[in-house]
Structure 1
């Protein structure tokens, strides 16, 4: 249960280094608390009656220090600290977080941490924390909340907020509708800027990232946008229709959030309106929402390339095994296949032992070359730059670039092979094998993401494992095959 907030200074936002320093302080306080508990247990064994009193006093002192430290932090930095602690310590610190920060921290933490925090809260605290959230924020948390808590919070919403919540929960997870914000400023086109300014002054505060005001008719159909900067420099008696812009980008709630992020990046947007199929304004997306999407997609892509899914870094061993074992076992099979290929050329290697030292270079360079191509292709797919019309041109370009790079690199590799083997033939075989395997790596680097995308799969999942399998197996086969043909 989170404790009530005590009067504190305004929470400060830390830079990453300061956040890490705060984490170190929290970890040190937790370490000292564990030492006190261990000492108290030993004293209890020795029948020391004063031990419980000493332990209680030190325990309260450490908790007070922890609470004072955590209360001074920004919710995002509290989230960072909670994500960096094992589950038992995480929940211990979470119980000390002020109730006023509960909602913000729950929104800031990663999904896998949020689950453990919600487990540690009772129903009353959950209702209190989520009751102050906007409809779009509550929709983000709803899948992780107990159904009875969601039902209880809905009772405190207005009819409009309840409708917004149900609407947001009805959109797919990776869509614009799932990330859009319902809080925005709307005006009519037939009023003057002076009226708009008077209306804005009556508001408690403007919604975050308000760079433009949306102009709608009586049916809430979007007519244009009024940039705040243009409104401030125009004459107060000017009507909105005279200065509003009718050239603006709109989003549909069923659009992909990744496509929306690409549009924000391309057009340097701060906010964008979301319209339904009838042209009615139903929400907006802000740069803050887009940054979260970009960060989440980047993290998922980095994990997917190694065949992993996002998990708690302190998750139980059994859960970690389920996450990592499948692709590692597949990788073991691919490595065994590469070794099997090499074993078929046992006679060649036994006659020319130096080949055993050189073939790993061929496989490694092919893998690195393919990884460069694959990274570029996955990135291009993510931002929608690859189409059926430019695919073949892209493939030809990648093969040409790889061939030219391979020619340059293979000359260096051939000189190295000649230097350690004193054989021109081995150097030429090394050169040819390296070029061929780099072309194999480039081909696989293009084909794997494209094929997975064609079948509606994430192009990054397990891509590096498949690439390694191809460049190792075929690299050994090409190098040792050429050696068998020309050297034995």
Structure 2
């Protein structure tokens, strides 16, 4: 495994560059294995020596792959699996040690997870699921066969079953769906010395334990006690004297996106989750919030092109179903734009230079609208747009686009003048640019705002609709003005 970085240590998390090196090493071993198999298959069919050589080499390559994989963190194994074609992915997946299966399944994307679960037998699925906590099992449960989930539930304690049922009862996109139950709680009427003795008896603290939750006898949250406060305070100090009563609390039906914004705004590591009676039922940690932010970012980027999440090496039929609808819509809109341009055939035949310039008008209008649309979608995602400021936002964007359009159109008019030698054409170019950039900005604002107003994803298909408007209206405005003033 000479391709691995010299600072590679089994089990440690790899930085992005080292993870790519590990992926390249896996691909190199898989390719070498394929080449050897092809060479062996060229021997006479049924040759026992060839079959023996192939078997030995297969075991050797698999041992090398397995040795490499067992030294990787589950997140890095997930990265490698997501980067491989399906046949190679399944081969590598079969070499991953069983004790890593559950964590790897949690790390991979939804579509890749489905492909891995498909090739696992029932016993392997049971073994993987039994190694998960209640909140982790709730994340994996939708992709597991119902009978596997039911059997795993039977092996849980009563408390674990209650936690699993609670976690599975909350819809995706809510705080309840991402909260975990692994947290430390203490009473408000004890001293810090008691708290320290209690902490020392624990085998370990849960990840991202920056604060301990203070509750009363009825499990109602009273405050939070930061670990740093425990370390610097006198042991005989009462918890109630040093706890923080002014804390951010979440409820299980809150939107996960809202929780992510709160974490970003207040630089939180963890936050308590309480029910309507104020009882502590779980917590949300920064690692779950980062997943929410990442998924929202990826979904937004895909939605702008009319796509849904897709396995990089998904079957062709599945990818076609994912991509074709909006491409067909785009084809129809492009056809409409072409139809608009064809209505001005006489104009273009008399002034041929128009055919070259009209693409500039449409393109700049689309770019201007795309800038506005990106800003609006981001503001909607971060909750910065509301009914109280939307009118001022629209006015501001119209003003910004107007000034930008004037500056850009002067440049475009100068180009048109030097190309054609016609001042009138330069002025037509200038007017069309200003008008189409305003069209682009208006569409870039209205489409996301209206979709959000009616409870739809503001990003889905927005760029397709924007391109349709700026192309069709851009051609119409430019060629229409040319017909009026130049013929």
TM-score bucket of the superposed structures, by smaller chain: over 0.9
Match of 1:231 in 2: 230
User: Deviation at 1:39?
Assistant: 2.1
User: Deviation at 1:149?
Assistant: 1.1
* Separation of aligned partners in 1, 2:168 and 2:219: 22
* Separation of aligned partners in 2, 1:358 and 1:153: 66
Match of 1:154 in 2: 153
* Separation of aligned partners in 2, 1:193 and 1:294: 36
Match of 2:4 in 1: none
User: Deviation at 1:41?
Assistant: 2.0
Match of 2:126 in 1: 127
* Separation of aligned partners in 2, 1:218 and 1:33: 63
Q: After superposition, give the CA deviation of every residue in 1:117-144 in whole Å (9 maximum; x if it has no partner).
A: 1122211121111112110000000000
* Separation of aligned partners in 1, 2:173 and 2:44: 55
Q: After superposition, give the CA deviation of every residue in 1:81-124 in whole Å (9 maximum; x if it has no partner).
A: 00011111101001111112111101101011111111222111
Match of 1:4 in 2: none
Indicate whether 1:82 and 2:85 are aligned: no
Q: After superposition, give the CA deviation of every residue in 1:336-384 in whole Å (9 maximum; x if it has no partner).
A: 0000001111111111110100000000000000000000000010111
* Separation of aligned partners in 1, 2:364 and 2:176: 44
Q: After superposition, give the CA deviation of every residue in 1:448-488 in whole Å (9 maximum; x if it has no partner).
A: 00111111110000000000000000000000011111111
* Separation of aligned partners in 1, 2:321 and 2:96: 33
Indicate whether 1:416 and 2:415 are aligned: yes
Structure 2 SS opposite 1:43: coil
Structure 2 SS opposite 1:206: coil
* Separation of aligned partners in 2, 1:117 and 1:195: 47
* Separation of aligned partners in 2, 1:363 and 1:171: 46
8 Å contact kept, 2:10–2:70: no
User: Deviation at 1:387?
Assistant: 0.8
* Separation of aligned partners in 2, 1:265 and 1:105: 27
Match of 1:3 in 2: none
My pick for the range that moved more, 153-162 or 297-306, is: 153-162
Q: Give structure 1 stretches of 5+ with no counterpart.
A: 1-7
Match of 1:5 in 2: none
* Separation of aligned partners in 1, 2:125 and 2:384: 44
My pick for the range that moved more, 32-41 or 66-75, is: 32-41
User: Deviation at 1:10?
Assistant: 4.4
Match of 2:40 in 1: 40
* Separation of aligned partners in 2, 1:104 and 1:142: 13
* Separation of aligned partners in 1, 2:217 and 2:207: 25
Match of 1:12 in 2: 12
User: Deviation at 1:9?
Assistant: 7.0
User: Deviation at 1:271?
Assistant: 0.4
**Which structure 2 residues correspond to residues 119-198 of structure 1 after superposition, within 5 A?**
119-198=118-197
User: Deviation at 1:297?
Assistant: 0.5
TM-score (norm 1): 0.97
Q: After superposition, give the CA deviation of every residue in 1:220-270 in whole Å (9 maximum; x if it has no partner).
A: 100011111111111000000000011010101000100000000011111
**Which structure 2 residues correspond to residues 205-220 of structure 1 after superposition, within 5 A?**
205-220=204-219
* Separation of aligned partners in 1, 2:10 and 2:247: 38
Structure 1 SS opposite 2:43: helix
Match of 1:347 in 2: 346
* Separation of aligned partners in 2, 1:266 and 1:44: 69
Structure 1 SS opposite 2:284: strand
Structure 1 SS opposite 2:120: coil
Match of 1:467 in 2: 466
User: Deviation at 1:48?
Assistant: 3.1
* Separation of aligned partners in 1, 2:52 and 2:383: 65
Indicate whether 1:328 and 2:333 are aligned: no
Match of 2:482 in 1: 483
**Which structure 2 residues correspond to residues 45-444 of structure 1 after superposition, within 5 A?**
45=45, 47-444=46-443
* Separation of aligned partners in 1, 2:118 and 2:439: 50
Over the aligned positions, Cα root-mean-square deviation in angstroms equals 1.1
* Separation of aligned partners in 1, 2:9 and 2:130: 24
User: Deviation at 1:13?
Assistant: 1.0
* Separation of aligned partners in 1, 2:92 and 2:234: 54
User: Deviation at 1:36?
Assistant: 1.9
Match of 2:29 in 1: 29
* Separation of aligned partners in 1, 2:426 and 2:290: 50
Match of 2:445 in 1: 446
Structure 2 SS opposite 1:72: coil
Aligned structure 1 segments of 4 or more residues deviating by more than 4 angstroms: none
* Separation of aligned partners in 1, 2:477 and 2:48: 78
Structure 2 SS opposite 1:273: strand
* Separation of aligned partners in 2, 1:298 and 1:370: 20
Q: How many residues align?
A: 480
My pick for the range that moved more, 207-216 or 126-135, is: 126-135
TM-score (norm 2): 0.97
User: Deviation at 1:152?
Assistant: 1.4
Structure 1 SS opposite 2:386: coil
* Separation of aligned partners in 1, 2:25 and 2:302: 30
8 Å contact kept, 2:261–2:382: yes
Structure 1 SS opposite 2:411: helix
* Separation of aligned partners in 2, 1:328 and 1:116: 26
* Separation of aligned partners in 2, 1:473 and 1:122: 54
Q: After superposition, give the CA deviation of every residue in 1:56-98 in whole Å (9 maximum; x if it has no partner).
A: 1111110011011111111101000000111111010011111
